[in-house]
Amino acid sequence: MSICFYKYSEIKRPVLDQKENLLIKCPLRAESCPVADEVHRLHKVCERLQTLTQIDPLTGLYNHGYLLEILEREMERSRRTGVPVSLIMIDLDYFKKINDTYGHEAGNNVLKTISNVIRDTIRRIDIPCRYGGEEFSIILPGTHLLTGVRAADRLRAGMENKMVQIEGEQLRVTASVGVDSYALGDNLSAHEFITRADNFLLEAKEGGRNMVCYDRDRIVQSETEITREEKSLLFAFT
């Protein structure tokens, strides 16, 4: 077995080709290079640790910190391209009553079940996050408000139709939903964008719950901007 010994200056060079994500071959063309193998292993460990810091351990969805990071990125993309990004805010109705009646373990089961409904309903390009407690956020890249509202209502219906098994009982869980979009001409921070969508969620709560609220004045403009292709891809799973 051939062994390659690096000089210090050679060890510092990148072991991974970031563009192709392939392990760079040993500069001396050795069949086995323990230094390169170890650096590659450590790189994989770091990737895994980074992923763990982005994931909510209970639901398996992205966490609040990752939401802010990616939302900023998608808003910047929208400013550059003019293509809007939509944001859905979801809050489970009467969740405290579930915890008080059945206990927190039952509440956790509800959160995990609803998280699965979200995963099964959204597109692959959408980014589902647990905002905190019983509240969820979903980033919809490249999505007009009209499309976002329709996707939100599909999520709301999916949650309502999903029965959760708790202590031998079939429990129906509903959610109040707010939707907003960030489009060309908007001047908001990520926090302000979330607050704006969250205000529509509160409107849904006050309006009777189990409903989707949004800016109806903006939806008219959004509908005129949406293309036929976007309509056909409304609920497409890519």
Q: Which residues pair with 17 in a beta bridge?
A: 22
CB-CB contact of 179 with 202 (8 Å): no
Does the CA dihedral 178-182-186-191 come out positive or negative?
positive
Coil vs helix vs strand at 163: strand
3-state SS of 192-214 is: HHHHHHHHHHHHHHHCCCCCEEC
Four-residue CA torsion sign, 124, 138, 127, 120: negative
Residue 203, both tokens: 């409107």
Distance between CA 54 and CA 108 in Å, rounded?
19
CB 146 within 8 A of CB 227: no
Asked if 110 contacts 128 with a C-beta cutoff of 8 angstroms, the reply is: no
CA–CA separation, 234 vs 236, rounded Å?
A: 6
Told to judge if 203 belongs to the known catalytic residues of this protein, a careful annotator would answer: no
Q: Which among 10, 72, 134, 169 is annotated as catalytic?
A: 134
User: What is each CA distance from 51 to 45, 61, 119, 136, 162, in whole angstroms?
Assistant: 10, 11, 18, 19, 29
Which residues are identified as catalytic? 134
